[in-house]
Structure 1
Amino acid sequence: MAERYIQNRQAGKRQPLTEIKSGANTTPAQTRHVRSEKSTSPSPLQHLPHNESLEANGTLAIRSSQPNSPENKRVSQIASEYERDPKRNSVISTASTNASGRRRKTYIGHWQLGRTIGKGGCSRVRVVRHRYRDNQYGAVKIITRSTAESTRAQSLANLIESTRGNASFTASGYKPIPYGLEREIAVMKLLEHPNIVRLYDVWENRNELYLIMEYVDGGELFHYVDERKGLHEDEAVYIFRQIVSALLYCHRLLICHRDLKPENILLNKEDLTVKLIDFGMAALQPKGRLLSTPCGSPHYAAPEVVSSKPYDGTQADVWSCGVILYVMLTGTTPFNYSQD
């Protein structure tokens, strides 16, 4: 099934998102199937609706956290329960800064900063290259502390409204890491799967946090599907199997993603390898317990999440996967959504 699309891919290569020509993890060439050109068939929608994680007080508003809700357990407290590769354990360190604050930063630890490839309300993303490892690239998400605690639309601050301190600096002069951010870092350190983006390192200074992750050069699944107005069936199956593989791995560790959507799935440009990203809403769900925090994106959230009922996070993830498969095959979402 895969070989029939290899030759056609050569004529329809997409341009890379940046000038960088090497990814952080160069994987061996894989047998793959890809489409040769964009579909010209009409679509019910001109473009797919772009889903941001909803702000507080929306339909899927982030509610006040409940003490007995299992998703409020600190993931960092259970990290030692799972075996991890010691190479993945990045110690949070202090990034060197110029005292005047006027000089432009060129390095974060051993990583040299490159061009900006994305911006958000409380963060921006830049390409980085390792100083001592030839051709090892990454992507650093630079998060401003002052806005990370209050900006709900950005995924890294959109988990739960509670944070671990928000007013004063600690005795050392540093603000505590926001609770949602700390949880995402802990979750990403637990995960090591070929279809989940890797977290290489974490640095911080007084004003910013730096999450250095694997660089994926093919962009979002959202744009890939939207440009083609839907995918061929065998190509959709190829991508979907990778999504399911990553999700099953998370569920075996009792981790629910809770914000699955095409915007949170990246593709490698060369072979369409899937990389699941954005664990800002992830939750630990002990067996026999239900989650209660409504979160996610409106077009992809399960009915029980939308209706603010207790829900099984794994089942909610499966619902979102079904919607993603529908979107890949048709180029449009199965349900309309409004704030009413």
Structure 2
Amino acid sequence: MGSGNELCSQEFDLDAKWLVDPKQIFVGPRIGEGAHGKVHKGKYKDQNVAIKIIRKGEAPEEIAKTEARFAREVAMLSKVQHKNLAKFIGACKEPIMVIVTELLSGGTLRKYLLSIRPRCLDFSEAVGFALDIARAMDCLHSHGIIHRDLKPENLILTADHKTVKLADFGLAREESVTEMMTAETGTYRWMAPELYSTVTLRNGEKKHYNHKVDVYSFGIVFWEIIQNKLPFEGMSNLQAAYAAAFKLVVGATV
């Protein structure tokens, strides 16, 4: 596999210390999958890592969007470092687009919550998790970054299940009051109403919003951590979006 290091450096303005050599990447079993790629357990050099392989698409416009998203994610991962953010190790673009981060073996917060149902977390444990998430979000926001997809599937636990780290910057964007950003971004059940239209949910609609969309998502995640229930239970993701937008759900439900 060719390294593609020169291309990475030119397109992403990435410091050489973040460029990984694809010849030293070993891709193991798949441990997760999202809308834009698959995550595998693997090794880089002698280190156990998580390897995100980006799905490129076939149409020229899809390829262009994927490359732009990849460039943003790599740029932001290299920009922020925090104990509650999955540690960024490096990236390369050729022969495939790959992002390498630390491997967290405790699984997702979603999986952990499901494993203890119907029991709820101890209150101190729940607050500890919430503080970890809040610190991660505070770090991002202090750097002008909006995550836009805060949910239990993107929160990963350490092996001892004591610490939560935020992962997956695939939908993250730099915050700018002058920029129009894409609506309908994220996952409806945890998505702030301002991310979609209250009249229609047209994909690709442009709207103004800021880091407060992450604050809304944090509130939904915190409720879920305390209650150990799925938000808007019994509703589809789309129904949950309409319920939040039109305030059809009473406080006892969410």
TM-score by length of 1: 0.56
Contact map agreement 1:126 1:140 (CA 8 A) in 2: yes
For residue 52 of structure 2, give the secondary structure of its aligned residue in structure 1. strand
Match of 1:297 in 2: 187
Matched, 1:320 2:217: yes
8 Å Cα contact 2:104/2:157 also seen in 1: yes
Would you say 1:194 and 2:83 are equivalent positions? yes
Q: CA deviation at 1:231?
A: 1.7
Q: How much is the aligned-residue C-alpha RMSD, in angstroms?
A: 3.1
Relative to structure 1, is the Cα distance of residues 187 and 285 closer, same or farther in structure 2, using a 3 angstrom cutoff? same
- Number of paired residues? 218
Partner residue, 2:238? 339
Instruction: Identify the residue that residue 113 of structure 2 maps to in structure 1.
Output: 225
Preserved contact between residue 126 and residue 225 of structure 2 (Cα < 8 Å): yes
Q: What residue number does 1:205 align with? A: 94
**Which residue of 1 is the match for residue 250 of structure 2?**
none
Q: Secondary structure at the match of 2:188?
A: coil
For 1:301 and 1:128, how far apart are their aligned partners in 2? 31
- Give 2:26's match in structure 1, choosing from 112, 117, 129: 112
The structure with higher relative contact order (CA 8 Å, sep 6+) is 1
Deviation of residue 323 (structure 1)? 0.4
2:70 to 171, 181, 192: 181
The residue aligned with 2:18 is 90
Does the 8 A contact of 1:258 with 1:313 survive in 2?
no
**Cα distance in 1 for residues equivalent to 2:222 and 2:63:** 37
Report the CA distance between 1:332 and its aligned residue. 1.8
TM-score of the pair, normalised by structure 2 = 0.73
Q: Structure 2 vs 1, CA of residues 281 and 202 (structure 1 numbering), >3 Å: closer, same or farther?
A: same
2:247 counterpart residue number:
none
Helix, strand or coil at the partner of 1:114: strand
Q: Report the structure, 1 or 2, having the larger helix content.
A: 2
8 Å contact from structure 2 (residues 42, 50) kept in 1: yes
Whole-angstrom CA distance in 1 between matches of 2:34 and 2:209: 30
For 1:247, the aligned partner's letter is M
Instruction: Say whether the 8 Å CA contact 1:125–1:140 is kept in structure 2.
Output: yes
* Identity %, equivalent residues: 28
Deviations 1:146-191, CA, capped at 9 Å, x for gaps: 45x79xxxxxxxxxxx66748xxxxxxxxxx621111111111111
Structure 2 partner of 1:18: none
Counterpart Cα distance in 2 of 1:121 and 1:282: 14
1:125 equivalent among 39, 64, 78: 39
Larger Rg: 1
The Cα shift of 1:118 comes to 3.7
Secondary structure (helix, strand or coil) at the match of 2:238 reads coil
1:283-328: per-residue Cα shift (whole Å, max 9, x none)? 1113x44754211111111122232684433111001001001001
Q: Is the 8 A contact 1:140 1:210 kept in 2?
A: yes
Q: Is the 8 A contact 1:291 1:313 kept in 2?
A: no
Determine if the alignment matches structure 1 residue 262 to structure 2 residue 152.
yes
Taking the aligned partners of 1:338 and 1:211, their CA distance within structure 2 comes to 28
Contact 2:57–2:63, Cα closer than 8 Å, also in 1: no
Relative distance call for 1:122 and 1:339 in structure 2 (3 A) is closer
Shift of the 202–236 alpha-carbon distance from structure 1 to 2, 3 Å rule, reads same
Provide the residue aligned with 2:102 in structure 1: 214
Relative to structure 1, is the Cα distance of residues 285 and 120 closer, same or farther in structure 2, using a 3 angstrom cutoff? closer
CA distance in 2, matches of 1:121, 1:338: 15
